[in-house]
Amino acid sequence: MSYDDSVHTLMATANWQAMDKLSFNFGIAFSMAQSEMEDIYFVSDPHTNGDRLDAATPWKGTYDVVNTNEMESYSKLEYNTLDLNMEALYSISDNIDLTVKYLLTNVDDQENYVYGDESGLYHSLRAWVTFRF
């Protein structure tokens, strides 16, 4: 079995000191990802054909690992993500900072194949206070 995957990411950031106590950070990242399995081959397990594993433990299951040999036909993943983030930091005093950060992630599932369409938007807004002693 071979498993190939790749991720290519392009990122850029910018910082701006608007005032002595206020600074901003902006970022963008674009990623293209692919993943695929090939040459999957399992030999059939005779215990799954209703044979007994031993005299005390019968196995009447129908699952056979050979059924996964077709896995490569649905293993291809391909998606793009775009991340945008903005952060503001305000120094309340020499020892106290307030930070607010917003993150937007857009996932574009190119194959819509393995788990269905995984495309969508994710928004996150966080705020925190930092105390320095």
Digit-by-digit pLDDT tens for the chain (133 residues) are 778 889 999 999 999 999 999 999 999 999 999 888 877 777 776 665 544 445 555 555 556 667 677 677 666 788 899 999 999 999 999 999 999 999 999 999 887 766 677 889 999 999 999 999 9
Q: Measure the CA–CA gap between 79 and 116, rounded to whole angstroms.
A: 12
Which tokens go with 33? 């990802």
Query: Backbone phi, then psi, for 87, in 5-degree steps?
Result: -135, 135
CA 21 to chain CA centroid, nearest Å? 36
Which tokens go with 123? 């928004």
Q: Is the pTM of this model over 0.85?
A: no
Q: Measure the CA–CA gap between 126 and 113, rounded to whole angstroms.
A: 33
Q: Measure the CA–CA gap between 80 and 34, rounded to whole angstroms.
A: 9
